[in-house]
Every structure is written in C-alpha cells, then in structure tokens.
Chain A
Amino acid sequence: MFKIEAIIQPFKLDGVMEALKAAGIDGITVLEVRGHGRQKGHKEVYRGREYNVDLLPKVMLQMVVPAGRKEEVIRTLSEAARTGAIGDGKIFVSEIAEAIRIRNDERGEAAL
C-alpha cells in the first residue's frame, strides 16, 4: 500500500477529482492548505500598507492505494493537475505499514 499526497493548485481540484473518478479511484481526503515551493509569493496592499504573502493557498489530496495502482494514480493526478506553469505543485509517495477499517476491523488492502 502506498500513500499518495498531492499538493495542487486550488482551481485544479474539480478537474483532478473528475479524472480520479473516471479512473475508478475512490477513497480520498482533501485539505485546504497554505504553502509554497519555489514559487514566489505575491504582494497585497491594504490602505497603502504592503504585505508580502509567501504562503499561498493550495489544496492537498491524500489517498492510500494498493501497490498495483500506484503508477496509474500518479499519472492521473499529474496529468490532470498540470498547467505547465510554476506553482503546479508536487506529489509525494510513501509506503504504508497498515490500514484498518474501523467499521469491521478489516485489515490491509481489503480495508482501502
């Protein structure tokens, strides 16, 4: 099992969700987050006072998938979230030791 975390542009969320659904991936958690990579922040001005905003609004998707579907999910995510511009985001993949379904204590890939 692998955990796939994708940090993407907020306006790409709808497209990414549709692509995942079309690929038959279910089970996802979405978080509103703030952060930055190499992308620079922007300037905001309130009554003449300038603020440099470094932490930009992003959306983070978390899903845990069976080993066999890892590459497919990564490809789907990265194609659907790409604009080609800086700030498109990143995907992180990590191995998951165990998964438990709370309702009935199923374990492993059966719990996904």
Chain B
Amino acid sequence: MAALKAAVKSSQSAGDNAWMLISSALVLMMTGPGLALFYCGLVRKRNVLGTMMQSFGMMAVVTLLWAVCGYSLVFGGGNPFIGDLRFLFLHGVGADPNPTYAPTIPHQTFMVYQMMFAIITPALIAGAFAERVRFNAMLIFSVLWMFLVYFPIAHMVWGEGGFLNAYSGGRFPVFDFAGGTVVHISSGFSALVTALYIGKRQNYPHEKMAPHNLVLSFIGACLLWVGWFGFNAGSALAASSLATSAFVATHFASAAGAVSWMVAERIRNGKASALGAISGAVAGLATVTQGAGFVQPFSAILIGLVAGATCFLMVSVVKEKFHYDDSLDVFGVHGVGGLMGCILTGVFATRAVNSALKLANGQAAPLGWIDGNPMQVVNQLIGAGIGIGLGVVGTLVALKVTSLFTPLRISEREEDAGMDLTLHGEEGYNFEA
C-alpha cells in the first residue's frame, strides 16, 4: 500500500513537472520571439533590430540577475515587502520541491518558471519608449527597475509572508493568479512614466510613424496568445483541473478581447483592422491574467469584452487627447487592462473555480463579490494602488539614476539614422545582401 502511494505521488510529480517545464518554455516564447516580433513590426524599419534586442536583452540580463539574487529577493521568506537572501546564487534550489510554493515539482522548476515572468515584465515596458533610447541605458534602467519595482511587488503578492499574499497571511489579501498586478499593472504604469519622462520621439505626432511590418506583429501576437497558456494555466503550478480552468478562461478572454476591439473600431473608424484584432486579443489576455485561475468561463468572456473596447478607447482617444508618446501602447493595453483585470477579479473570483483558500472551519473561503465577499474589490484596489505607486516612484528613481551613468536618449541625428545602425552597427533589411 505504501509502495502504491509512493508510485502515485511520483507519477503526479512527473506529470506536474512535465507541464511546468513546458509552461516555462511557453512563457519564454512570449518574450522571444512573441513580444520581440509584436513590437518590432510596429516600429519603423530602421529600428527593427534595436527593438527586438530590447526583448532579447531582457532574456539574457534578467536571467543572470534572477540566478544571482532575483529569485531570492522575491521568494525568500524575508519581510512583507522584500525577500531575504536565503536563495542567493540559487543556494538550496535543487531537485527537492519547495512545499511553500509548489510541493509536487522540483524547486528548480519553480525557480525557472518564475524567471520567465521576470524576463517579460521589463521587456514590456520598452514598448513605451521605443525608437529613442540607448541600449545601455535601457539595460541599466531595467536592472534598477527590477530591484526597485519587480522584486518588491512580486514578493508582496507571491512571496512567503508577502504584504499582499492571500495565501500567506498577507495584510491585504490580493488575488493575482498569474501576474495582473505583478506584471501588467507594474509594467504598464511604469511604461507611462518612462514615456512622459523620456519624452516624445522627435517630430511626433506630426511625422508619419506607421508600423513597418504588421505581418511580423501578427505572428508575434499569435505567439503571445499561445505562450499565454503557459503564463496563466502554468500558474496553477501543477497539471491540475485548475490549470485547465485557467487555460479556458485565458482563451475565452483573448477571443472576446479581439471581437470587442474589432467591433469598437468598426463603429468608430468604419473598418476592423488586423492590428486592432491582435491588439484586442493581447488586451483580453493582459486583463484576464489576474483572474485566470479564479473566474468561470463566462466571467472571462465578459472580462475580455470590457478589455477590448476600453483599451481601444484608451489608445485611440485618450492618448490622442493627452499627446503622450507611449509608442507601442504599453500603458493603454497592459496598464489599463491590468488595472481593470485586478478590479474585475475582485468581482468575479469564485470558490467554485478555486477552493485553495480555506476558512478556519476548513471550508473553501468566499473569494469575490459574486461569492458574497464584496470587500475583496477593496483589497484588489489596494493591491493595484501599491503596484501603481511602486511602479511610478521606482521608475522615476531608476530613470534618474540611469541618467547619472549615460544619456537616456539617442541624439536626434541617431534617431534619424535609426537604432539598428547607430546602436548595433547592423541593419535588419540589407539592400545589398
């Protein structure tokens, strides 16, 4: 009997580990090539490589940072606001599971999975200051931003004893299944700050700056959609029915976001565009991220419908009105989508989907408003507020410190010549070759 139990446990571990390793790879695929293609198609020809390199740079640099101390600062016990150094240089992160976070998979799998989230978050921000920032400034800023914003907010929401961690006695329990607050609110609002601080591209908005290749963006967006299954369903940290539920919610919200943006655009501009459809899907995905493992399929569809139309209005009406150059709409899609998703999770989260949180008597705790816990919306707002505040302040400090080491912007002449040639000494499309 004991042997049978051990065999069942070992096969569950094998299944969970297989799914989590695949999910890790899927989330990495979101940054490269997903986000890299999505973004590079939206910029002008002369900046195609520079834009891809910003995403790829994060794959390289954040990985090393995560190994040295990032993982520990997020998932080491520590205080409510930042982790300690117990996992410095991945000390003690090996084949044995860490029962605090994921009892059925090797600790190392958990570590590498979470790393992929840390990679994509600063890569997202780069879209707001596309086509005008030095590569070295972008790298320095991103490393500082990880310390000032990502490590603290990720620890608060997901780390043991975190201030906002609903499962670890947090002061304000926030439900953030896959990073609506940690990834999208933090990157989206930080992105707006960078766009305002660094300033517009020269000649914006007078000069035509149309996307140079929407085919690349299209492929990138579809890779993001597929990769997002690893992002959201993988956040169940097991090959469980909860992973299935998150998978379904993710897919439905993405589809609803695409439909909603296309309809809004058709009404306002007379045509449903390809860029609109893929932007709507990404908006739906960003918005459902927070609640993916807490909401039922039709709640996810509703979340997607709200996301598509609202984000469309943000990027086409609000941005035009205020004239800020959030070049690739990181704030309009990820910031606004993330914020809406955070609030809507407080409304639609239900124990019918996720019963992991228990009351003192052992029964599943009511989660969101529809579960009879309207106060959860307030908790979600507090979480979002902390994410926004930390993002804004941390980004300002990171930009200021970066500018002590290097100018943030390329010169006007370099902007004319393009990042590819001036920053990397290459061209994306070679005439002679």
- Min Cβ gap B194→A in Å is 19
Contact with B along A9-46 (1 / 0, CB 8 A): 00000000000000000000000000000000000111
Q: Is the CB of B276 within 8 A of A47?
A: yes
A92 to chain B, nearest CB (A): 26
Stretch at the interface among B48-56, B176-184, B315-323: B315-323
Encoded as 1 (CB less than 8 Å from any A CB) or 0, chain B from 276 to 295 comes to: 10010000000000000000
Q: Does B275 contact A (CB under 8 A)?
A: yes
Chain A residues contacting B265 (CB-CB under 8 Å) are 48
Across-interface contacts of B210 in A (CB, < 8 A): 44, 46, 51
Q: Are A46 and B211 touching (Cβ within 8 A)?
A: yes
Query: Which single residue of chain A is at the shortest CB-CB distance from B315?
Result: A47
B208 CB-CB contact with A under 8 Å: yes
Interface size class of A (residues with CB under 8 A): under 10
Chain B residue total in the interface (Cβ 8 A): 19
Residues of B contacting A: mostly = helix
* B195 smallest CB distance to A (angstroms): 15
- A75 CB within 8 Å of chain B: no
Cβ of A49 under 8 Å from chain B: yes
Query: Which residues of chain B are within 8 angstroms of A47 by Cβ–Cβ distance?
Result: 275-276, 279, 315-316, 329
**CB of A57, distance to nearest CB on chain B (Å):** 14
| B273 neighbours in A (Cβ, 8 Å) | 45-46
Q: Which residues of B contact A45 (CB under 8 A)?
A: 269, 271, 273
Residues of B within 8 A of A49 (CB): 205, 316, 320
Nearest chain A CB to B317 CB, angstrom units: 7
Is B208 a contact of A48 with CB atoms below 8 Å? no
Bound-complex Cα distance A48 to B211 (A): 13
In the assembled complex, the CB of A51 is this many whole angstroms from the nearest CB of chain B, namely: 5
Cα distance A89–B257 when bound, in Å?
Answer: 42
Closest beta carbon of chain B to A67's beta carbon, Å:
36
B319 to A, closest residue via Cβ? A48
How many angstroms between the C-alpha atoms of A41 and B205 in the bound complex? 20
Distance in Å: Cβ of B23 to nearest Cβ of chain A: 30
Report B-chain residues with C-beta under 8 Å of the C-beta of A51: 208, 210
* Contact between chains at A48 and B315 (CB < 8 Å): yes
CB pair A48 B275 closer than 8 Å: no
Q: Mark B251-282, 1 if CB is under 8 A from A, else 0.
A: 00000000000000100110101011001000
CA distance A63 to B55 in the complex (A): 47
A34-93 at interface with B (beta carbon < 8 Å): 44-49, 51
Rounded to whole angstroms, the CA-CA distance of A46 and B210 in the bound complex is 7
In the bound complex, residues from chain B placing their C-beta under 8 Å from that of A48 are 265, 268-269, 312, 315-317, 319-320
What string of 1s and 0s marks CB contacts (under 8 Å) between B188-226 and chain A?
A: 000000000000000001001011000000000000000
User: 26 A-B residue contacts at CB 8 Å?
Assistant: A44-B210, A45-B269, A45-B271, A46-B210, A46-B211, A46-B273, A46-B275, A47-B275, A47-B276, A47-B279, A47-B315, A47-B316, A47-B329, A48-B265, A48-B268, A48-B269, A48-B312, A48-B315, A48-B316, A48-B317, A48-B320, A49-B205, A49-B316, A49-B320, A51-B208, A51-B210
Instruction: Give me the interface of B with A, judged by CB distance under 8 Å.
Output: 205, 208, 210-211, 265, 268-269, 271, 273, 275-276, 279, 312, 315-317, 319-320, 329
Contacts A47-B279, A47-B329 supplied; 17 other A-B pairs, CB < 8 Å: A44-B210, A46-B210, A46-B273, A46-B275, A47-B276, A47-B315, A47-B316, A48-B268, A48-B269, A48-B312, A48-B315, A48-B316, A48-B317, A48-B320, A49-B205, A49-B316, A51-B208
